[in-house]
Amino acid sequence: MKKDLLKLLDLSSQDILTILDTADQLKAMKKAGIQHPFLAGKTLAMIFEKSSTRTRVSFETGMYQLGGNAIYLSDKDSQIGRNEPVEDTARVLSRFCDGIMIRTFAQEEVETLAKYASIPVINGLTDFCHPCQVLADLMTIREHKGKLAGLKLCYIGDGNNMANSLIVGGLKCGMTVSIACPDAYRPDPAVLDFAQQYPGMLQCTPDILAAAKDADVLYTDVWASMGQEGESSQRKLVFEGYQINDAVMAAAHPGAMVQHCLPAHRGEEITAAVFESHADEIFDEAENRLHAQKAVLYLLMK
C-alpha cells in the first residue's frame, strides 16, 4: 500500500482487497479473543474539524485493541483550529506521533497534510470522499454476499462524498454501480471521469426504480450532510422520493441487502420499516468501521 490513505482513487484494486483481507483476519482474532497488539507503543493523532460518533470511537477503540494510543484533537484543542498552517501542524505531529487521522471539510487540506507529514495520514472524511466508510461497506457486502465482483450496487440520494467513494470502490472491486440522484446533484466530475475506465459499469440517472432494478445492494445517505444544515429545507424538496422503500426493494434483486452509513433519518432517505428489517446488515456495516480501520492502521503503521 501507499504511505497514506487519502482517497480510494489512489489505491489499486489489490490494495483494497489487501485491506479487506486484513480486516477479516483482525475481526476473526477479535471475535476469538486473541490479543493482537501489533501497534504497541504507537500513537495516532486524530484531528476532528467535523465531529463524529462512529469515526472517533472506531479509531480510538481500534488503536487501543492494536496496543497503541489515540489522541483526540478537536478544532478547539489544536492550533490548526487557530489558523496554524496545515503544513506546520503536519511537521509538528510527525515529531510526536506515528500516524494522523483527520476528519475535515476540504480534500485539499488532507492532501497538504500528507505532503508535509513524514508519518501516514488517513482521511477520516472530507466533502469529497469517505474512504474508510466504503472499506467497511465493501467488507460487509462481501461478508453477506460472499463476493464483490459481479454484484450490482445501487446508491440513492445526493451525489456526495459517499456516492463518490462508492463508485470508486465498487468499480475497482468489479461491481456495477448505479446512482439515482437529481441531475443537479450528480457525483464529482473527477469521479465520473474515472468511471470512464469501466465502460458500461456505471449508471447515473434521476430514475430511482431504473437505478434499483436488479440491485444486489441498496445504499443511501442523509439528504443534508454535516455543513449543509442551512440547505435542509431546500434539500427535502429536491430529494423527496429519493428513498429506499418497499417499491425500491421490490425493484431490486430478491434478497437485496441494505446499507446506510448512519446516522439515518427514518422517513426521509429510508423508511423505518426497511431500516428495521435490514438493521442487522446496517449495524454489521457500522461495526466493520472498526475492523476495516484497524486494517488500515496496521498496514500503514506496523
Catalytic positions: 103, 130, 133, 221, 261, 289
Whether the Cβ atoms of residue 294 and residue 65 lie closer than 8 Å to each other: yes
Closest C-alpha among 141, 133, 134, 212 to residue 180: 212
Report the C-alpha gap between 63 and 257 in whole angstroms. Answer: 30
Annotated binding residues for carbamoyl phosphate, written as ranges, equal 52-55, 79, 103, 130-133, 261-262, 289
Annotated binding residues for L-ornithine, written as ranges, equal 161, 221, 225-226
The residue with cell 488503536 is 63
Render 221-282 in DSSP notation, one character per residue.
--SS-TT-GGGHHHHHHHTTT--B-HHHHHHSPTT-EEEE-S---BTTTB-HHHHHHTHHHH
Tell me the C-alpha to C-alpha distance, in Å, between residue 126 and each of 142, 226, 250, 273. 25, 10, 33, 31
Report the C-alpha gap between 20 and 135 in whole angstroms. Answer: 7
Closest C-alpha among 290, 286, 2 to residue 137: 286
Instruction: Compute how many other C-beta atoms are within 10 angstroms of the C-beta atom of residue 26.
Output: 24
Spell out the residues 6+ positions from residue 134 whose beta carbon is closer than 8 angstroms to its own. 8, 162, 165, 166, 168, 169
Distance of CA 162 to the CA centre of its chain: 6
Instruction: Give the cell for residue 206.
Output: 434521476
Annotated binding residues, written as ranges, equal 52-55, 79, 103, 130-133, 161, 221, 225-226, 261-262, 289
